Amino acid sequence: MRQDNEMTTASYGIGTISKHTGVNIETIRYYERIGIMPKPPRTAGGQRIYETAHLKRLAFIRRSRELGFSLDEIRALLRLVDGGDYSCGEVQEMTLAHIADIRRKIADLRRMERVLKDMAAKCDGGDVPECPIVDALSA
Amino acid sequence: MRQDNEMTTASYGIGTISKHTGVNIETIRYYERIGIMPKPPRTAGGQRIYETAHLKRLAFIRRSRELGFSLDEIRALLRLVDGGDYSCGEVQEMTLAHIADIRRKIADLRRMERVLKDMAAKCDGGDVPECPIVDALSA
DNA sequence: ATAGGAGCTGTAGTCGCTACAGGTTCAAGG
DNA sequence: CCTTGAACCTGTAGCGACTACAGCTCCTAT
């Protein structure tokens, strides 16, 4: 573990924050390239040095991805947070929009499931080469 | 509309089958490139000529995509159909596996929705720059 | 004969990563 | 102090399933 020479500010290598957040090393570098993670300071040799703030930001991104936010949505969320003058209302609005999105996806999947279930039910599962599923799909 | 000179076998240009199936022209050519649509005959000038069989196959692919089958799954389905010796049981098996997949996706999305709803509920939506959603995400 | 819509090929971009190849740096052990 | 080897670096290419474009050629109707 590295130590700052002035203060007791913890620093971590990229592998450490990768393990901590569960985000792949390559993905972290990718996030930096596309600008949702800031360019961190480097050692004399060019290796990235992260601090607690980076760790928190990466955890935020990770959790948001898990909850289905796109990187663009996360970018917007982070812009609010970075601006400093974000309001709770704005964040809530985006979250509600995202929930609506998820609901639409669920509805679509349920429709698919129903159709497929109906098709599978018409099938006797035998060896004959006349399948109602195939018929239903090409109609 | 083109007409065969021997029989009344209907032929269509790529634009026609695109409109009929709702599959983009570029996508049809892409399907040909990756081998899930066969290479059709061409006019002297090199334009693709399709017949009713192509139309049915493309409709099959379209519908399967709509129902969430991946191109790889569709390829497998088509291999069964093309082989001619497919059994209804095999098709049904793939369909049931796909249904299980859809159920998993629905469960995931529902979990997401619940978490987001809980987070949004904690938010008073006001103008204050302290948002429980942001806190929840970075924790 | 000509205008213009339809079609052609080939390439590059999208999203969100992941997987290399081929090199450099760092920390620990001898 | 030196060596080993793990960790890190850059840059590029690949995935799936398209979509978009540039810059042509072809076909049909007037």
| Residue A88, pLDDT score | 87
- Dist CA B107 CA B112 (whole Å): 9
Q: Tell me: do A38 and A94 sit in the same domain.
A: no
Verify if strand D has an atom below 7 Å from the CB of B71. yes
Full residue range of the structural domain in which residue B51 is found: 1-68
The CA distance from B29 to the nearest CA of chain A, in Å, is 19
Residue A39 lies in a domain: yes
Q: How confident is the model at residue B14 (pLDDT cuts 50, 70, 90)?
A: very high
Do B132 and A86 meet the contact criterion of CB atoms below 8 Å apart? no
Of A36, A69, A102, which residue constitutes the final position of a domain?
A69
Residue B81 lies in a domain: no
Residue A79 lies in a domain: no
Per-residue pLDDT at B90 exceeds 90: no
Q: What is the DSSP letter of B2?
A: E
ipTM score above 0.90: no
Q: Tell me: do B29 and B91 sit in the same domain.
A: no
pLDDT in tens, chain A (139 residues): 444 444 557 899 999 999 999 999 999 999 999 999 999 999 999 999 999 999 999 999 999 999 999 999 999 999 988 877 778 888 999 999 999 999 999 999 999 999 999 999 988 777 777 888 888 887 6
Q: Tell me: do A33 and A96 sit in the same domain.
A: no
Residue B11 lies in a domain: yes
List all residues 6 or more positions away from B36 whose beta carbon is below 8 Å from its beta carbon.
B61, B71, B74, B75, B78
Q: Tell me: do A6 and A61 sit in the same domain.
A: yes
The structural domain count of chain B equals 2
The integer distance in angstroms from the CA atom of A74 to the C1' atom of C15 is 14
Q: Tell me: do B16 and B55 sit in the same domain.
A: yes
- Dist CA A134 CA A72 (whole Å): 39
pLDDT tens string B20-36: 999 999 999 999 999 99
Q: Tell me: do A61 and A91 sit in the same domain.
A: no
Q: Tell me: do A94 and A64 sit in the same domain.
A: no
**Residue in B84, B127, B134 closest to A129 by CB:** B84
**Of A78, A42, A87, nearest to A58 (Cα)?**
A78
Of B68, B96, B115, which residue constitutes the final position of a domain?
B68
Q: Tell me: do B51 and B92 sit in the same domain.
A: no
Residue A77 lies in a domain: no
Using a 7 Å cut-off to protein CB atoms, list the covered nucleotides of chain D: 7-11, 16-21, 25-28
- Dist CA A121 CA A110 (whole Å): 16
CATH number, domain of A1, equals 1.10.1660.10
Q: Tell me: do A18 and A59 sit in the same domain.
A: yes
End-to-end CA distance of chain B: 64
- Dist CA B139 CA B122 (whole Å): 15
Residue A81 lies in a domain: no
Q: Tell me: do B1 and B47 sit in the same domain.
A: yes
Burial B90-111 (b: 16+ CB within 10 A, else e): bbbebbeebbebbeebbeebee
The CA distance from A117 to the nearest CA of chain B, in Å, is 7
**Of A98, A40, A106, nearest to A70 (Cα)?**
A98
- Dist CA A58 CA A18 (whole Å): 9
pLDDT tens string B64-74: 999 889 999 99
Residue B76 lies in a domain: no
Q: Tell me: do A52 and A112 sit in the same domain.
A: no
pLDDT tens string B110-126: 999 999 999 999 887 77
Do A98 and A73 meet the contact criterion of CB atoms below 8 Å apart? yes
Residue A58 lies in a domain: yes
